Amino acid sequence: MDAPKGGEFALIGKSVVIKGELSGSEDLYLDGQVEGNIELRNHSLTVGPNGVVKANVTAKGVVVQGKLDGSINASERVELRQTAVVTGDLATQRIAIEEGAFLKGKVDVQREAGKA
């Protein structure tokens, strides 16, 4: 499992199904199913390879290895790994997309504060 390295993070395993609002103040590794909204303002979300998310996501950083259906608003960075399937609009400062990742939606790369 390619979970975040170092530090503490919460983990939602692949057998877990959540419907509703999800918010937190720590990094989250999500390999289960979530339907609703996810808000981790100053923390990062990793959607694991088994993760199926139908939610709008607000976080500092978002890494997707599984399936995400919804908009992503990441204040710092979005990474789509080669197995990622993302349908929704992305707004972030930095984006990395591996060969093979699938994205259907608009990408809005916002410039960092202080840069022209």
Partner 1 sequence: MASVADNLMKLFRSSSNQPASPAAPHKLTRRSSGIGEISRLLNSQENLSVLDMGSTSANNIRFFTEKGHKNYSEDLLRASLDPALRMKDEEGKIVLDSKKFLEDNLAYPNAHFDIVLCWNLPDYMEESLVKPTVDRLWSVMKPGGLLLVFFHTRDAGPDSKCYRYHVTGTDLLEMSEIKLPAPGRSGEKESPRLQRVFNNRHIENLFRDFASIKFFLARDAIREVLVVR
Binding site for partner 1 (CB under 8 A): 80, 95-99, 101-109
Cβ at position 25, least distance to partner 1 in Å: 30
**Residue at token pair 């599984």:** 66
**Separation between Cα atoms, residue 109 and residue 5, nearest integer Å:** 26
Cβ at position 73, least distance to partner 1 in Å: 15
Q: Which residue, 36 or 105, has its beta carbon nearer to partner 1?
A: 105
Cβ at position 84, least distance to partner 1 in Å: 9
Residues 39/20, Cβ–Cβ less than 8 Å = no
**Residue at token pair 């939602």:** 12
Cβ at position 95, least distance to partner 1 in Å: 6
Residues 66/52, Cβ–Cβ less than 8 Å = yes
Q: Which residue, 10 or 101, has its beta carbon nearer to partner 1?
A: 101
Q: Which residue, 48 or 88, has its beta carbon nearer to partner 1?
A: 88
Q: Which residue, 13 or 100, has its beta carbon nearer to partner 1?
A: 100
**Separation between Cα atoms, residue 26 and residue 85, nearest integer Å:** 24
List the one residue out of 79, 82, 85 whose CA is nearest residue 61: 79
